[in-house]
Amino acid sequence: MAQRETWATRTGFILAAVGSAVGLGNIWRFPFVTGEGGGAAFLLVYLLFVALIGFPAILAEFVVGRRTDRNPVGALKAYGGGAWKYVGGIFIATGFIILSYYSVIGGWFIRYAIEGFRGDYASHIAAYEGDPEIMFGALSTGLDAFILHTVFMAITVGIVALGIRQGIELAVKVMVPAIILLLVGLAIWAFTLPESGGGYEYYLSPDFSVIAANWAELLPAAAGQAFFTLSLGMGVMITYASYLGEDRNLTRDGITIIGFDTGIAFLTGLVVFPIMWAGALTEPGSGGPGEIFVAMTQAFADVSGGQFLGLIFFATVAIAAISSAISLLEVVTSYAIDEIGIERWKAAIGMGGVIYLLGVPVTYDLIFLDLLDYFADAILLVFGALMLTILVGWIAPQAAVDELEKGIGNLGTLGQVWIWALRIPIVIVLIISLYLGVVEYVDFLTGDFAGWLDENL
């Protein structure tokens, strides 16, 4: 069998993991969830969750990946024994499903960036009865969406097909610094816009009363966001760590990755809210799929320099989405390479092709986005994360501590603190989130989705 690939440099691994973590979750979702959750007060809760839950959980994926040097199915089988391979299978399925619609959303961002090339956003909106919502409706489904879903997936497949060093590592070395630079530039520009001040106030002044009133929804939302944004629960970090050598200090890498992800999410808030306020939009809505497109396009139509600002903004998000999408496809591809034994480029094209087909219905009707997203994100992902936590925390903790100590040295009681964090608090949070996710999904199936079927069949 061919030698298993590895990262060329430590930076390559870190950038790839940051590239995976920074994506639509940070840019499309985070600012709105934060806005709704009382601004800075939510931010504090979220930071707490990232540190107390995200950090132990990302280390758990790292140790399993590096110890076994396998894709998630092979890794869980090697780490936990035979039946655990089915949990690995759930990871693969989750990646499969999430990537299918992630690609469609990524395509929307490419589409909106193209609009910026072709003229200013005000005249684009004017072409859709002057309503950015109608514009989003027209662009988010149908032929446009289909073509850009195709483009997005083709780019993703192309990068993964080229391999770890020549494909993913090279791509993220360009993409991640570009994302950071562009966002910093946008944030500075946003700062100079008139009337942007209200945006900072909304984002940064803590309103604890919102949390006190809605904690039952907001706490699971903060936990879910912490997992999603760190790409946990579907084996991305297992897979990426499987290409590592033994000498890395995984805690240090984990802290670096989490630091970048959180910093970039925070930075995005400094772009989105001031621009919205400058465009006289002062009510961020529910963060649904169209929210950021509708709100930001209107803002870009209204502020001076909006055409260029918008072009850069949408393109930046598209880049961030691609660097996340490649990690999802890598999970599935590494599975096909290791377990089915096919060559990398065939695996990437074959798996990418099937995932692409699964995403096509989303370009027909957005009800399929909800159908896939609620299921993968709120149920499968949480279930996968829960099982991995149980495996590392309860079933085989010693191997995990041994593995973590490689490259660090004796951890003493810190190792035990880590294991106990996994065993009790994280398991509890995940069980509650899973329960809420199932309730929400049943609600959706019997409500919105049943209604849609009635109307359309």
Is 442 exposed, middle or buried, given 0-12, 13-18 or 19+ CB atoms closer than 10 A?
Answer: exposed
DSSP code per residue over 88-146: HHHHHHHHHHHHHHHHHHHHHHHHHHHHHHHS-HHHHHHTTTT-HHHHHHHHHSSHHHH
Taking CB positions, which residue lies at the least distance from ligand PFF? Answer: 25
Q: Using the minimum distance from each CB to ligand PFF, give the nearer residue, 229 or 389.
A: 229
Q: How far is the CB of 236 from ligand PFF (least distance, A)?
A: 4
Q: Which lies closer to ligand PFF via its Cβ, residue 21 or residue 362?
A: 21
The per-residue DSSP string of 2-65 comes to PPPP--SSHHHHHHHHHHHHSSHIIIIIHHHHHHHTTTHHHHHHHHHHIIIIIHHHHHHHHHHH
Binding positions for ligand PFF, rule: CB under 6 A = 20-21, 23-26, 98, 228-229, 231, 234, 236, 324, 327-328
Pick 20 or 140: Cβ nearer ligand PFF? 20
* Tokens matching residue 167: 């494909």
Smallest separation, CB 140 to ligand PFF (Å): 18
CA-based max dimension of the chain: 66
**228 versus 368: smaller Cβ distance to ligand PFF:** 228
Contacts of 326 (CB under 8 A, 6+ apart): 19, 20, 156, 159, 160, 167, 168, 171, 172
In contact, 323 and 26? CB cutoff 8 Å? no
Residue 324 CB, nearest approach to ligand PFF (Å): 4
Closest distance of CB 95 from ligand PFF, Å? 6
From the CB of 121, what's the least distance to ligand PFF, in Å?
24
Provide the minimum distance between the beta carbon of 195 and ligand PFF in the complex, in angstroms, as a whole number.
30
Q: In this structure, are residues 327 and 102 in contact, taking their beta carbons and an 8 Å threshold?
A: no
